[in-house]
Structure 1
Amino acid sequence: MTGTDPKKAKRGRTLVFKIISVAVPFCLLALLECGLRLFHYGHDLRLFIEYPEDKNLLYLNPDASKRYFINQKNATTGNVEPFRKTKAPGTRRIFVLGESTTIGYPYFHNGSFHRWLQYRLARTFPEQHFEIVNLALTAVNSYTVLGFAREMVDYQPDAVLIYTGHNEYYGAMGVGSTEQLGGNPAWVNALLRMRSLKIMQLGADLYQKMRSVYADGQNDGTRMQRMVAGQGIPYQSELYRRGVEQFRSNMHAVLDVFSRKRIPVFISNLVSNERDLRPFVSFPVDSTRFPDFTRNYKVAVDYLKAADSLQAYHYFKKAAESYKAHALCNYYLGKLEFARGNVQAVREYFSKAKDLDGLRFRAPQEMNAIVGQLVASHSNAHLVDVQAVFETHSPGGVIGSELILEHVHPDLKGYALMSDTFYEALKKARFIQPEAHQEMSFAKLQQSMPVPAIDSLGGIYKIANLKKSWPFNAALEQDSVPVETFEERVAFDLAHRRITWETAMDQAYNHYIERKNYREARKIVESLILENPLDAALYNQSAMLSGQLGDERNALFNFQKAFHLAPSFETARYLFVLHLKMDEPENAIPYLDYAIRNNTSGLNLAAVRTLVQEVVALRAGFPSDSLNASVLRRIAAAYYQMDNRDGALRYARKALSLNAGDAEALRLVTMLRQGGHVQATAAH
């Protein structure tokens, strides 16, 4: 036998030792990971989890945002909008992605644009079910949108709506945020994916605890203050460019995710308050390099304080000629040009002032250009031009306080316009194809949308409180909001988190019912329906209130929704009675058949069905026999026998319109008005 080569054996042992030395740390990490999982350390960061009240439903995991925040104190939670694990046939499922505007701040509930859209779609397509699930969070940006998109794409979305971009610098993982892991999007996204590992969560927790020891008050103030690392990011600086490229890279990846699955995406450009919000930060100008600017700007400000707009305008112009990159100078020139009616100059100055603002809470116009470029490069993407619509509804075409509450969040009119712009984009893409006679118009939506006064006032109080804090206390005028009426008191408590939204709605409903104000009580119930669209009891409750108000069409709509979710004899009975009362016997038959199969009342519904079939047969020949008073009287008699007095009176009057002397029809009308009884033969 040939002996083993000692050198080869030594090299082999060395290789084994190297492999072991490399493998041991990984084995230890794997064991640690298994141990942490065994003891349920950390958070479940999946996007969706089972809904506690119904295991057949999923909802947005309250801990899903923790992946994107280093300091868990800053992590935010979103809406609770359960949807079915298994999508029902015919259901159109729409997911919504974005940040605070997208979730509807400061209204959050039925002020948000997706709730306006939800209400309109439900009434335009009463036979179809739409699941609109809002996954937006406050204080996040395109990193969260991308992370959510990657998970959400597997949950059978039929369309995705996106509004994001204002938080790109200071939102979680933004280049100017305290919550960042680095400036390279590829590196950050790789680390974010790894944060589902318990070891990564342990490391982040230990880092945060060590950091808090030396933070020295960094956790003080509002979340907005805690999230901002650098309060000055100059226009076109390296940090500015990194923020823009971060947005471009992440949103390109988002659209790629949906493009691969051929899912239509409706992405909006961004709107902000340009006309009525002074720039937060104007960087000082070097008076040595630009002495003319410093001198002229100071003179201009003095004239402005003295209300001499002509001289102020003259000196601001001279200042801008020597230095064009001062945010506040451009803003003042925009204001003065607005007063002079110079539309083109107004837009240029205000847009420039926003872009030059060193505190980047408003997305620069460049990001809207990126949205347009991304839509053009992805066949599945559709531009939702909210900016153009807002400009159309703004004086001088420049967006201000008539649509924006502070810097970026719309008021109720603004959210309504956002919803209409998304709705029209869905129509243009033929994702929805409403029939003209059934479609709810935008004017009707504005009139009917159930946003209770408490929700509206609650938003006003939140904004009034926000304006008192940094950075708005110097940029916006303070509002004085009274707290006197019942609605104002409840809204004030809601805005200051003394009560929950559900408690506020409960108090309001009881208040209105006690005062027999059924219209406002119904608005409360309909707002609860938008919050809980799978609750059949709420639809029944709204239908009953509609009955009190004599609104039969709305009662019918809500009873149909209730029946679809939870069929019952009582709901079926209401439905066939309403259809008959509204002279729709064909539509009554399916509910009548259900009621017969599930009859718990002892009523002789078979006899009613026979009469309904008789009316259907008589009506079938009615267009060609419209002058036959005998047919009209027979329909009136059939309706009367089934105790449908409205229908009986309608057809008896039609018979009289053909012959005012028709004794039988006249006797029937007289008896119906008096509430008496008529022999069955009288109408034959």
Structure 2
Amino acid sequence: MTSEAPHPSRGRRIVFRLAAVVLVPMLVLAGVEGLLRVAGVGQPTGALLRSEVDGEQVWIANPWATTVWFGPVAAREATPFAVPVERSARSVRVLVVGGSAVQGDPDPSYSPSRILDRMLRAVLPDRDVEVVNLGMTAINSWVIRDLVRDAVPRLRPDMTVVLMGNNEVVGPYGPATERGPLADHPGLVQLRQRLARLRMVQFAARAVRAVATPAGSEAAEWLGMESLLDREIAADAPELERTYEAFRSNLEAIVDAATTGEGEALLATVPVNLKDCAPFASRHRPDLGERDRHSWQRAFERGVRAADEGRPDDAVAAWAEAATIDDRHAELMYRLAVTHGELGRQSAVGYYHLARDLDALRFRADSRINHIIREVAAERAAAGVRMVDLAGAFAAASDGGVPGDELFYEHVHFTFSGAYLVARELLAPLLEAVGAAGAANLEAVPEPRRVMEQLAFTPWDRFRVGIELAERLRRPPFSGQLDNAKDLETLERWMRGLRELLGREGLDSSVETYRGQLAAFP
């Protein structure tokens, strides 16, 4: 007697077919991905790489970490560092993340992180101080979210300092750089970035670039701020609301990653140059009619003439008339701010803030960004999140409560005095986080001049930074600012003083400073 094997049910047949359609290709793709990794095709894209220095295993910055965001030509890199994989029992480890202001532009040698490192070493002489600077030019909360998620489990810092917000509009997936559907769908952004990390995707992208770039030709140069001159975004643009929502979501994810385990997060509000940075671009109200536009222009020009002739009260009156027609023009608010300040009026502060918030080329963190930072810090305080109000500290340290060129080189990058102030404000909450607030000798915090000497910020280096700044101010978007000619004149006068100070003896003194600090900090 023969019997036939039972036929699989219809449900099982469907499952088998789905498995064949889905699982088999997935296994094939996984195999290809594995082979490409073994063959060394593509690059790792995490924040850190493991390396060895003098026989010790260390973490170093991954130079390919941002290629999935910017591509290989425009990829940004962190300032080199090396920290032990295994933390010592005495270590105090701080991770600092942010954009170019955190990195220390125009010269990372004098960044807030390096100054903070010197302060911590002085206050905690018996501890192994390790300050890791993962700041990079042009990155924003999308990139920093990935960096923190990858770096924190490896570094296990006591504190992750987050100082970001200047690049939310002009960085990856900001409304000034991304005009496709991805910008409106955060989930798609994250999916795209995960796919971009795959070696097979990297291989395919490299093949496409090879075909698209003829042999012997060079890839397009990254132009930074200059590439965004036509990407004006009005203060009431709907896409800004989506930017703020994404910033909040990313900041919350960063906090979650930073506070996993025993570490804490320190969120900082973002200080920017308000007094000595005129708006980069101004826009009228979109509903302003032709007649009103002409009336506005007449009142505006009348105010300019009055200001040029030394009649500030008449200038304010004319500009106030223009503001009744259109008060959304950034340059108008800036001119009102400057003139109210000259008249000694406290109202200047509000106008400076408005001028920044209305600037249509949004290279500076605005009021909403700082409001979100304060809100998230308050909401997560019970989860080990602290906040330092750097924007408030910069205001308190500035005449009239308006930060300017005493603390900033241009729009957002810190002078040495500004970087020192950042580090000084970060110090107290960091000491609290490592349980050293009471024991630490705060009187041991080195004064600015001493830190300047320790970091070898000599007259020659100040002159060198001045050359870089002069080149920057002569190019867009700075060359189009209201006070650009005056800014260049001030800078050139400062550099003439440095040139006279240098001479042969000044250069010899700079060399001796280098030698002394290399011996003290080999």
**Deviation for aligned residue 1:253:** 0.8
SS of the equivalent of 1:182 reads helix
SS of the equivalent of 2:46 reads coil
SS of the equivalent of 1:466 reads helix
| Equivalent position of 1:332 in the other structure | 335
| Equivalent position of 2:314 in the other structure | 311
Contact 1:142 1:165 survives alignment (8 Å): yes
Q: Are residues 116 and 323 of structure 1, via their aligned partners in 2, closer, same or farther at CA, if it must alter by over 3 Å?
A: same
d(CA) in 2 for partners of 1:527, 1:142: 36
| Equivalent position of 2:514 in the other structure | 524
Unmatched 5+ stretches in structure 2 = none
Which residue identity is paired with 1:219? A
Instruction: Please state if 1:156 is matched with 2:161.
Output: no
Q: Are residues 484 and 123 of structure 1, via their aligned partners in 2, closer, same or farther at CA, if it must alter by over 3 Å?
A: closer
Instruction: Please state if 1:224 is matched with 2:225.
Output: yes
d(CA) in 2 for partners of 1:429, 1:72: 38
d(CA) in 2 for partners of 1:217, 1:448: 42
d(CA) in 2 for partners of 1:270, 1:392: 14
d(CA) in 2 for partners of 1:336, 1:195: 51
Q: How does 1:203-352 map to 2 (within 5 A)?
A: 203-206=204-207, 219=220, 222-226=223-227, 228=228, 231-285=231-285, 286-288=288-290, 290-291=292-293, 292-343=295-346, 345-352=347-354
Listed one character per residue, the Cα deviations across residues 171-195 of structure 1 (whole Å, up to 9, x for unaligned) are 2343322598533333323332333
SS of the equivalent of 1:72 reads helix
CA RMSD of aligned residues (A): 3.3
Aligned with residue 445 of structure 2, among 440, 448, 451: 440
Which residue identity is paired with 2:226? Q
| Equivalent position of 2:369 in the other structure | 367
d(CA) in 2 for partners of 1:207, 1:238: 35
Contact 2:158 2:434 survives alignment (8 Å): no
SS of the equivalent of 2:298 reads helix
SS of the equivalent of 1:473 reads helix
Which residue identity is paired with 1:414? G
Which residue identity is paired with 1:238? P
Contact 2:97 2:144 survives alignment (8 Å): yes
d(CA) in 1 for partners of 2:32, 2:229: 34
SS of the equivalent of 1:161 reads strand
| Percent identity over paired residues | 23
d(CA) in 1 for partners of 2:18, 2:389: 60
Q: Are residues 296 and 175 of structure 1, via their aligned partners in 2, closer, same or farther at CA, if it must alter by over 3 Å?
A: same
Contact 1:95 1:134 survives alignment (8 Å): yes
Instruction: Please give the TM-score of this superposition, normalised by the length of structure 1.
Output: 0.67
SS of the equivalent of 2:248 reads helix
Q: Are residues 17 and 486 of structure 1, via their aligned partners in 2, closer, same or farther at CA, if it must alter by over 3 Å?
A: farther
Instruction: Please state if 1:461 is matched with 2:462.
Output: no
SS of the equivalent of 2:478 reads coil
Contact 2:168 2:174 survives alignment (8 Å): yes
Contact 1:176 1:239 survives alignment (8 Å): no
SS of the equivalent of 1:290 reads helix
| Equivalent position of 2:430 in the other structure | 426
Q: How does 1:44-55 map to 2 (within 5 A)?
A: 44-51=44-51, 53-54=53-54, 55=56
| Equivalent position of 2:140 in the other structure | 141
Contact 2:284 2:328 survives alignment (8 Å): no
| Equivalent position of 2:119 in the other structure | 120
Listed one character per residue, the Cα deviations across residues 320-352 of structure 1 (whole Å, up to 9, x for unaligned) are 012211111111111110111111x11111101
Listed one character per residue, the Cα deviations across residues 46-94 of structure 1 (whole Å, up to 9, x for unaligned) are 322233543422211111222322x321111111111111111211111
d(CA) in 2 for partners of 1:449, 1:390: 24
Q: Are residues 124 and 179 of structure 1, via their aligned partners in 2, closer, same or farther at CA, if it must alter by over 3 Å?
A: farther
Q: Are residues 301 and 209 of structure 1, via their aligned partners in 2, closer, same or farther at CA, if it must alter by over 3 Å?
A: farther
Instruction: Please give the TM-score of this superposition, normalised by the length of structure 2.
Output: 0.86
SS of the equivalent of 2:266 reads strand
| Equivalent position of 2:69 in the other structure | 68
| Equivalent position of 1:409 in the other structure | 413
d(CA) in 1 for partners of 2:74, 2:147: 18
SS of the equivalent of 1:236 reads coil
Contact 1:452 1:527 survives alignment (8 Å): no
d(CA) in 1 for partners of 2:199, 2:502: 46
d(CA) in 1 for partners of 2:34, 2:465: 46
| Equivalent position of 2:20 in the other structure | 20
**Larger Cα Rg: Structure 1 or Structure 2?**
1
**Deviation for aligned residue 1:289:** 6.5
